[in-house]
Structure 1
Amino acid sequence: MTLAAPPATRAKFTDPDWTAKGERRASVPLSGLETLWFNTGSLCNITCGHCYIESSPRNDRLAYLEPADVLPFLDEIAADGLPVREIGFTGGEPFLNRSMAELAGLCLDRGFRVLVLTNAMRPMQRPAVRAALSALRERHGGRLQLRVSLDHHSAALHDQERGAGSFAKAMAGLGWLVREGFSVTVAGRTRWGEDQAAMRAGYARLFAEHGLALDAADPHALVLFPEMDETAEVPEITTACWGILNLRPDAMMCASSRMVVRRKGAERAVVLPCTLLPYDPRFEMGNSLAEAARADGGQFDHGAVKLNHRHCAKFCVLGGGSCSA
């Protein structure tokens, strides 16, 4: 592919092929689709201080997904023999969607691992939801995993982010999941400047105090996510960065995952590169996985994702973050 000469002037993260300094922008080819994410809807039962998709009780920009939205993608995976092993569900708060347990069941019945991201608060703790989750666990065991958002090991800092009393409610939900034998992990955030060792020690004390059999030293059991501050100065990622940072494109999240959303008022769902870009129309890849693999022009080069967003740099390349299990 021959690129036109870089524009004389541009702002950062605007040109899909060139950075503001006139350097060739890095891109990530799809090495193999291993994880397919579904955003079940942008509504949430709480409003966090720093939510990357601005979920809240009022944000309905992403519609609730229904089985009719999900099944065509599961059928496409089967028909085309795609190497998908894991289906992830995120939100908003997924358990506000009344179809959440049914959606998870459809994927589990087809043999996928299923990961659900939840704040473990009241929507998940409704008796009907608990009963449905217990039934799924009995049928499918550890192939159903829930990742509970617990931003910090102290109630004060967690509540600072998620609202007064949210820590106690999340801990109640986390405790129920662990006691009932679910496969559970915890997601924390690094926004308070503590180093990883201190944070993991704090979570270890918390888990021990509550009798929770979770290993805070295990990076898979306790995931500490980098922050995505929209106001922070973030460098653009160039093709030279792979060698400078000693990183490989196929280690990035968008090398092995895609996300499906349905926007409010839209007739069909659309495929996006990842969980971090739910609203930006520049990153829409089509209405099917096949269309996404062929997406060309703009932010894409025959399915390869051009890293033309600050989240690509801050969360994935520099932060080493990945939403998959």
Structure 2
Amino acid sequence: MKDLQKPVANLGKFQDAFVTASGQTRASVPLSDPETLWFNTGTLCNIECTNCYILSSPANDALVYLSEAEVQSYLSQIGERNWPIREIGFTGGEPFMNPGMIAMARAALERGFDVLILTNAMRPMMRKTVQAGLLALREAFGDKLTLRISVDHHCEALHDKERGAGSFAKTIQGMEWLRDNGVRMTVAGRTVWEESEAEARDGYAALFAAHGFAIDAHNPSQTVLFPEMDETVEVPEITSDCWGILGKSPDSVMCASSRMVVKRKGAKSPAVLACTLLPYAPEFEMGETLAEAERPVQLNHPHCAKFCVLGGASCSA
């Protein structure tokens, strides 16, 4: 497994949760409108991508499989805390590596939530038992279920450069199965490539048209393009004054509306994290319950600046 330690960068920055390196008050984000609760189903994946932010691979079990019972517990806590959650998201790793994925999705759907599953649509999703489960969920819940497919680039060569030779063709095969069986799809791509957003969206539009995928490439909620998350790049720390300078509100940042549940290898219980992007940063672990996760989040990481505040990205649909 790859080294989980942070690369050396931004020396002197992001050291104090409340004060920046220049001595200014660090920005924080209250949980103002919880809309999405994420579950990381485990870091095991059928492939190992070149730049996976969570270092998922066939060997990385740093985050172990969540169970249906554990998911049910947090779904109950949503009601107990009166959180206005509309969406339950499942991410990994590859969620369909987890044998309980269909049952966990059903548990959320039966409680009335929209469900979003992030997948590469490759072999784990294409197992007969998983296909049967997806068809049953589609029959019972229709478009309340969405699968967001990782298509790193609309060009096969660049996608395979990131995900391995032959991965593009396998993902397209999985998407064609979803298309033919009426399962709602969206796509997640990346902006690491040397092209404008307009060029990227036009490329995805051509890909979707060629395969008859009912996905709008120019709608950011249907085709999400994520900025690269590179901790070796120098980024500014976000101070409390930055909101006014940037003309942004703390409510626009992802941790104002979401939390993520993970289970670390060897842990007795799952934990709630402030951010889907920082599973290995202990300072972003908030406790074992949703009640403990209601406190504000200090923006004490390079991803907070580059991905969320300055990049304006969000993992939710």
Both proteins in one fold, TM over 0.5: yes
| Paired residue total | 307
Which residue of 1 is the match for residue 310 of structure 2? 318
Which residue of 1 is the match for residue 96 of structure 2? 95
Q: CA deviation at 1:211?
A: 2.1
Equivalences for residues 190-229 of structure 1 within 5 A: 190-229=191-230
For the 8 Å contact 2:81–2:290, the answer to whether it is kept is: no
- Rounded to whole Å, the distance in 1 between the matches of 2:227 and 2:180 is 29
Residue aligned with 2:124, SS: helix
Which residue of 2 is the match for residue 244 of structure 1? 245
Between the aligned residues of both structures, percent identity stands at: 64
> 4+ residue runs of structure 1 moved beyond 6 angstroms?
none
Which residue of 2 is the match for residue 79 of structure 1? 80
Which residue of 2 is the match for residue 253 of structure 1? 254
- Rounded to whole Å, the distance in 1 between the matches of 2:32 and 2:179 is 35
Equivalences for residues 109-148 of structure 1 within 5 A: 109-148=110-149
Equivalences for residues 45-60 of structure 1 within 5 A: 45-60=46-61
Residue 167 of structure 2 corresponds to residue 175 of structure 1: no
Residue 53 of structure 2 corresponds to residue 61 of structure 1: no
Which residue of 2 is the match for residue 161 of structure 1? 162
Q: CA deviation at 1:203?
A: 0.7
- Rounded to whole Å, the distance in 2 between the matches of 1:290 and 1:272 is 12
Q: CA deviation at 1:217?
A: 1.3
Task: Name stretches of at least 5 consecutive residues in structure 2 with no aligned partner.
Answer: 1-10
Q: CA deviation at 1:19?
A: 1.3
Which letter maps to 2:248?
L
Which letter maps to 2:229?
M
Q: CA deviation at 1:68?
A: 1.9
Task: Name stretches of at least 5 consecutive residues in structure 1 with no aligned partner.
Answer: 1-9, 294-302
Which residue of 2 is the match for residue 6 of structure 1? none
- Rounded to whole Å, the distance in 2 between the matches of 1:76 and 1:221 is 29
Which TM-score applies when normalising by structure 1?
A: 0.93
For the 8 Å contact 2:88–2:115, the answer to whether it is kept is: yes
Which TM-score applies when normalising by structure 2?
A: 0.95
Residue 16 of structure 2 corresponds to residue 15 of structure 1: yes
Equivalences for residues 276-291 of structure 1 within 5 A: 276-291=277-292
Q: CA deviation at 1:185?
A: 0.3
Q: CA deviation at 1:213?
A: 2.3
For the 8 Å contact 2:286–2:292, the answer to whether it is kept is: yes
- Rounded to whole Å, the distance in 1 between the matches of 2:95 and 2:214 is 25
Q: How big is each residue's C-alpha offset from its partner over 1:194-243, in whole Å with a ceiling of 9 and x where there is no partner?
A: 11100011111111122222221111111111110121111111111111
- Rounded to whole Å, the distance in 2 between the matches of 1:214 and 1:265 is 40
- Rounded to whole Å, the distance in 2 between the matches of 1:164 and 1:22 is 48
Q: CA deviation at 1:124?
A: 0.4
Which residue of 2 is the match for residue 267 of structure 1? 268
Q: CA deviation at 1:174?
A: 1.3
Which letter maps to 2:312?
G
Q: CA deviation at 1:32?
A: 2.2
